[in-house]
Amino acid sequence: MATSRFVGYLESRKNITGSAAGLVGLVLTFTGVAGPYWPVVVVGLYGAGALIAPPERPPLPDFPDPSAQLDEVRGDFERLGDYLAEVDLPPAAAGRLTELTGLLTALLEPGWVAEILAQDPEGVHTLSRTVRQDLPEAVDSFVRARWWTRMTPGQEPPERHLERQLTLLQEEAERLATALQEMEARRQESHTRYLEDRSQQHP
């Protein structure tokens, strides 16, 4: 450990800059400028060089970029689809689920829509939360609650909660799709302004 730290210091900016400054001191010594105090000059220049050297910067953590995150969410969504296919839902809830999963499929489909989505970290987080947490929790809660209502009839049907939850998730996904559409519209408007400005500059 001590050896690796020593080797690391030898390769550091501080040592390299200090050594370069120390060489200047040796040149001054050989030319007679430093005089009898040349050791102090050399050490002083080395220390000054080491002080002014930029600090060492540790490498940043290698986090996956949004495109890689989308790939992971896409894989999780496929596994979620396998789970949902095994759940027996009432017709109304099944219809809402079909609408929601259809929109999620369109947003996650590889292509230009996913490329736009990858530029929106909040949007990627929203999709990830829906796929990995909110949607499976909504369906699983319904499955468990349905069993209890069969044991103790007369309570509020659990499908009402499921339908409401799926509606809220659908609305959230629609807001995300609208935001992406507006982002693309702003891009188009920006390109129009650029072309107009260029046309005015070069009639």
Q: Are residues 41 and 104 in the same domain?
A: no
Write down the pLDDT at residue 146.
84
pTM over 0.75: no
d(C-alpha 163, C-alpha 199), whole Å: 54
The residue segments making up the domain with residue 29 are 2-52
Q: Are residues 48 and 72 in the same domain?
A: no
156 pLDDT higher than 80: no
- Is residue 73 domain-shared with residue 95, that is, in the same domain? yes
Contact between 44 and 28 (Cβ < 8 Å):
no
Mean pLDDT score, 146-174 = 84
Q: What is the pLDDT of residue 45?
A: 52
- Give mean pLDDT, residues 23-37: 53
> Is residue 111 very low, low, confident or very high in pLDDT (cuts 50, 70, 90)?
confident
Residue that the structure tokens 């896409």 belong to: 74
* Residue 15 included in any domain: yes
- 29 exposed, middle or buried (CB, 10 Å; 0-12, 13-18, 19+)? middle
**Domain contains 57:** no
Considering Cα of 11, then 14, then 20, then 23, what sign does the dihedral take? negative
Q: What is the pLDDT of residue 115?
A: 84
pLDDT of 136 > 70? The answer is yes
Residue 187 sits in the same domain as residue 104:
yes
Q: Is the pLDDT of residue 22 over 60?
A: no
Residue 84 domain-assigned (yes or no): yes
Residue at 59 is within a domain: no
C-beta of residue 179 within 8 angstroms of C-beta of residue 120? yes
Q: How far, in Å, CA of 56 to CA of 139, rounded?
A: 51
Residues 99 and 172 in one domain: yes
CA 32, chain centre distance (Å): 59
> Highest mean pLDDT range out of 18-32, 35-49, 103-117, 158-172?
158-172
Is the same domain home to 29 and 102? no
**What are 117's two structure tokens?**
């989505």
Same domain, 96 and 189: yes
The percentage of residues in the chain with a pLDDT greater than 90, rounded to a whole number, is 37
CA atoms within 13 A on the CB side of 127: 30
Q: Are residues 29 and 83 in the same domain?
A: no
Helical pair 91-108 and 135-151, crossing angle rounded to 10 deg: 170
Alpha helices (H) in the chain, listed in sequence order? 2-10, 13-30, 38-52, 66-85, 91-108, 112-117, 121-129, 135-151, 158-201
CA Rg value for the chain? 32
CB atoms within 10 A of CB 101: 19
How much is the pLDDT for 15? 52
Tokens found for residue 15: 């040592």
Between 136 and 111, the more confident residue is: 136
Q: What's the mean per-residue pLDDT of the chain?
A: 78
Do 81 and 33 share a structural domain? no
pLDDT bin (cut points 50, 70, 90) of residue 7 is: very low
Region 36-43: mean pLDDT is 54
Residue 8 in domain: yes
Q: Which of 107-116, 139-148, 162-171 ranks highest by mean pLDDT?
A: 162-171
* Domains contained in the chain, number: 2
Same domain, 46 and 71: no
Q: Does residue 35 fall inside a structural domain? A: yes
Nearest to 138 by CA among 102, 106, 174, 163: 163
CB of 42 closer than 8 Å to CB of 86: no
Task: Write down the pLDDT at residue 199.
Answer: 85
